[in-house]
Amino acid sequence: MRAHRGWYVLALPDSDRGRLVAERLSVGTVLSHASGRPWVIHTYPTEQVLVNTAGPNRVAVIGFSSATTEALQRAADNCTQVSDLDTLAGTLAGSHILVGSVGGHVRVQGTASGVRRVFTAIVDGCEVTCDRADVLAHLGGFAIDETALAIRMLRQIPHPLGELPVWQGVRPVPADHYAILDGSRVRVARWWRPPEPVLSRTEGAARLCRALEEAVSTRTRSSDVVYADLSGGFDSTPQAYFAARGPARLLVGTAYNNDPGGGEDLIWARRALRTIDVAHHSVFSTDEMPQFYDGLLEMDAQLDDPSDTFRAGPRMRYMMQQAKELGARVYLTGLGGDELLFGHPRAEHTLFRRRPLLALRRLRAYQLLERLPARATFVKLFDRRGYRQWLVDNLERIGERDEKTKPTLSLDWDAPLSWPRWYTADIRAAIVERIRKVCEDVEPLGPDLASHGEISMIRHGARSTRGGEQLGAELGLAFQAPISDDRVAEAVLSVRREERAEPKAFKPLMREAMRGRLPDEFLTRSRKNSGTTQATRGIERYKEDLLALCGQSPLAGLGIIDLRLLAEHAFPQGPGAINRDLDTTLNGAVFARNQSGVRERITP
């Protein structure tokens, strides 16, 4: 198999077929079963790999973790079956792939958040698992699944549509499950469940503080120099605070621009720095970076998921390269914090069953803040449909979104499906057929709207974080979001929802966690600006490049988009107007273009 530019970890059963598959890989470090057959092949840096090598059982942790060699050895010695690793999996801090070889069975798992994923495929009659779907696809010579790709390019992708790999023959392992290889088949078993939300805000804030500090320390202890975004928000700033307490030399960077409010991040970052000891603070204008939608024609990253990392990639790569030039091997980002810490009105649907008056007051606050009609807001409280029925009904009503329609406050299981106007009739029909099949046995991520929605949001954020990790790996840089770690998410999810978030408060749980650590003046921040103004300018400036990109990609040839309709409908028809369906189409276009160049069948 041709060399892969990023990092991956591939696990094989303890069998002769596994040995034959391993012989097709030309690069990577090989870890062995006790039998001597290849067990794990990876391309990660050595500082991110920990493995025990004594005894009949083997355990490896690849990524960043709080594990020690002694702890892995104890876990291996005490195993009689792969399920015995549940305790280790549920207590390690950090973000990593866990692989075990116990009694002829192999266990492979990622993280419950979805930042670290695991996929399986049958290659030459052998079951194989990997944390990169594209590695399996290239190894097995699998073609792109155009229907799955088109689904992944929809603006809203309710569970489990966001889990679909975009290659035929590659299957996802649910994020809260692990894969089991026994030499003849692949099975999955669940290892993670969210905690019950029973803690007060004070109790939960203390737990969040401990979890985030340990999450950050798993990164700072492995590198002499760490770079951290410092946007002055409640995600990146606490991470920088804890990074400064570690052994690594900490560098931070803050961007600003001349748009209205474009200098606020720098003001708040400087306030936070009164209690954060950094070696260097880089301050730079966003004018020095690629602009929104700039550089996509040259974006050559080969990521295994058509996430928003592609659209943001040129800007992200610019910042990563700056960090590398300063000597950093680890880059800390606050991605995933919004999805974890912001509340969502759908939680009031669940609260209404337990504390109706409180739910009505909170929902009223959301309704007034968003200036939405009262009846359309409150009537959803009485919708008792299960998730499967909601998804079926949603599929029956799917149509094209009117960009001029004022949004409503969603108390549904998820956002409604809609068609990009440039999707072909054939691909629309194929998508409907595929989703109908999914609906036959679909289950929600939790028993009610609140629990389903919070896990769905975490995994939605994980897709961009995961894409950033893969982009960084191509540069040899560990791009990391400690706030997206499982133990951090558990700390947040353990707090009662009505105390975790409030309609009129800006991430109150993190504010409470950092009280007494970050300056009181900093903790008064109540908002963050978006990049909408810059995005609008970018679409207008780079329209021809974006059309050329879509024309160069395989999307039209795969029957997914109509280029004429794309040119007619995708670009602003008035000042400030943005069709967000264009973003997901661009992500799919870059993904398909970059992957099509490495789709050739691999031969021994």
Q: What is the pLDDT of residue 537?
A: 83
Range 335-339 average pLDDT: 96
Residues of the chain with pLDDT > 70: what percent? 96
* Side-chain half-sphere exposure of 54, counting CA atoms within 13 A: 9
Which residue type is seen at 554?
P
Q: Is 420 exposed, middle or buried (0-12, 13-18, 19+ CB in 10 A)?
A: buried
Q: How far from each other are the two terminal CA atoms of the chain, in whole angstroms?
A: 8
Domain 9-190 carries which CATH code? 3.60.20.10
Q: Which residues contact 364 (CB under 8 A, 6 or more apart)?
A: none
Over residues 533-576, the pLDDT tens digits come to: 778 888 889 999 999 999 999 999 999 999 999 999 998 766 55
The residues facing 569 across adjacent strands are none
Q: How crowded is the C-beta side of 8, counted as CA atoms within 13 Å? A: 26
Whether the predicted pLDDT of 601 surpasses 50:
no
- Residues linked to residue 63 through DSSP beta bridges, in sequence order: 96
Average pLDDT of 183-205?
95
pLDDT score recorded for residue 379: 86
CATH code of the domain occupying 201-338+486-532:
3.40.50.620
- Sequence letter at residue 269: A
The model's confidence at residue 4, banded by pLDDT at 50, 70 and 90, is low
CA of 89: how far to CAs of 44, 106, 108, 514, in Å? 20, 14, 11, 27
Pick the more confident residue, 287 or 494: 494
The alpha-carbon radius of gyration of the chain (Å, integer) is 24
Whether 603 shows a pLDDT value over 80: the answer reads no
**The predicted structure's pLDDT at residue 411:** 87
Q: What is the pLDDT of residue 354?
A: 92
Residues of the chain with CATH 3.40.50.620: 201-338+486-532
Cut 0.85: pTM above it:
yes
pLDDT band at 366 (very low <50, low <70, confident <90, very high): confident
Average pLDDT over residues 232-244: 97
Say which residue the tokens 């104890």 belong to. 74
Q: Over the stretch 384-429, which tens digit does the pLDDT of each residue have?
A: 999 999 999 999 999 987 766 666 677 899 989 999 999 999 999 9
Q: Residues 18-69: pLDDT tens digits?
A: 999 999 888 899 999 999 999 999 999 999 999 998 889 999 999 999 999 9
pLDDT single digits (tens) 84-130: 999 999 999 999 999 999 999 999 999 999 999 999 999 999 999 99
Q: What is the per-residue pLDDT for 73?
A: 95
The answer to whether residue 481 scores a pLDDT higher than 80 is: yes
pLDDT tens, 441-469? 999 999 999 999 999 999 999 999 999 99
Look at residue 604 in the predicted model and tell me its pLDDT.
Answer: 26
Asked whether the CA dihedral 52, 53, 58, 63 is positive or negative, the reply is positive
* Mean pLDDT estimate for the chain: 92
Average of pLDDT values for 161-187? 93
Say yes or no to pLDDT of 360 above 60.
yes
